[in-house]
Amino acid sequence: MVRVAVAGGTSGLGRLVVDAIVATKKHDVFVLSRKESDVFASKPNVKLFAVNYAVPATITAVLEKNRVGTVISCLHLNSKEASDVQLNLIEGVGKTVERFAPSKFGLDYLEVARVDFEFHAIEFKVIAVNKLKEFPSLTYTRFITGTFMDFFGPLPNLLINVASLIIKPRNRKAAILGDGSATIESVTLRSPESPAADREKRGFRGRMPGILEDARLAGIMEDFCRLGQSLPLCQTWSAHAAAPAAM
């Protein structure tokens, strides 16, 4: 069994990743958290460690002691402080584990950084990749998932914060980029083809690819809107074209 640790695994996307790996019954699973938590009290096969992200050496010590081979970061990079936490995590894992996945789910942020696109987290994603280059023996994968399909119709008790993208059924409104012919790629968080399951199928063994384009469904924006309009509660629906800057 490969020993896998998930940073930020007590909630949100990290919790979903932990649950997906545990469900396979193929790996020893650990969770790295800023503080103690009993969220996995009912899952004796998941061990949680409270680590001090300000001191990378403590992270290294925990990983070495428990012989962890793969670390997946699901830290929410919504601020510079959060970004610094991931940089310290990379510093801690770079000297001990074989494989790492930074918190870069979504777009190919290295490509996005080349264009004039305003999104505060882009710089944090790019900085993480640059940091990883300091550890040539550490292999890593950037997951390019597209948007999460769950945002279009969240399942009950979904653990992530749901954002309305393109269509908002509750308000019966849609914002279409351009003329509606552009495609959007997405993946569902709870399907067998999710990023967590896809990574698990590769077994967390060997060298990880530098980039994994994991989108499973490509649809035209206009089609998404038509689907939304077909819902019983959304018969009256307004849509407008939005320029890229407005999106």
The CA radius of gyration of the chain, in Å to the nearest whole number, is 19
List the domains of the chain with CATH numbers. 3-145+188-215 (3.40.50.720)
Tokens read off for 128: 């993480």
The pLDDT assigned to 2 comes to: 86
Whose tokens are 């020893």? That residue is 28
Spell out the residues 6+ positions from residue 195 whose beta carbon is closer than 8 angstroms to its own.
Answer: 17, 105, 143, 145, 187, 212, 214
Count CB neighbours of 124 within 10 A.
Answer: 23
Q: Tens digit of pLDDT per residue, the chain (247 long)?
A: 789 999 999 988 888 889 889 988 889 999 999 999 998 888 888 999 999 999 999 999 999 999 999 999 999 888 999 999 999 999 999 989 999 999 887 777 777 778 877 777 888 888 999 999 999 999 988 877 766 665 555 555 556 565 555 666 666 666 665 666 666 666 655 544 444 444 444 444 545 455 444 444 445 556 656 665 665 544 454 544 444 444 3
Overall pTM > 0.75: no
Name residue 101's beta-bridge partners: 72
**What is the distance between the alpha carbons of residues 86 and 66, in angstroms, rounded to a whole number?**
20
* Per-residue pLDDT, 28: 92
Residue 39 Cα distances to 42, 84, 108, 243, angstroms: 8, 25, 32, 43
pLDDT at 204: 46
**Residue by residue, what is the 3-state secondary structure of 9-26?**
CCCHHHHHHHHHHHHHCC
Cross-strand partners of 99: 70, 139
Q: What is the per-residue DSSP string for 37-68?
A: --TTTT-TTEEEEE--TT-HHHHHHHHHHTT-
The reported pLDDT for the residue numbered 20 is 86
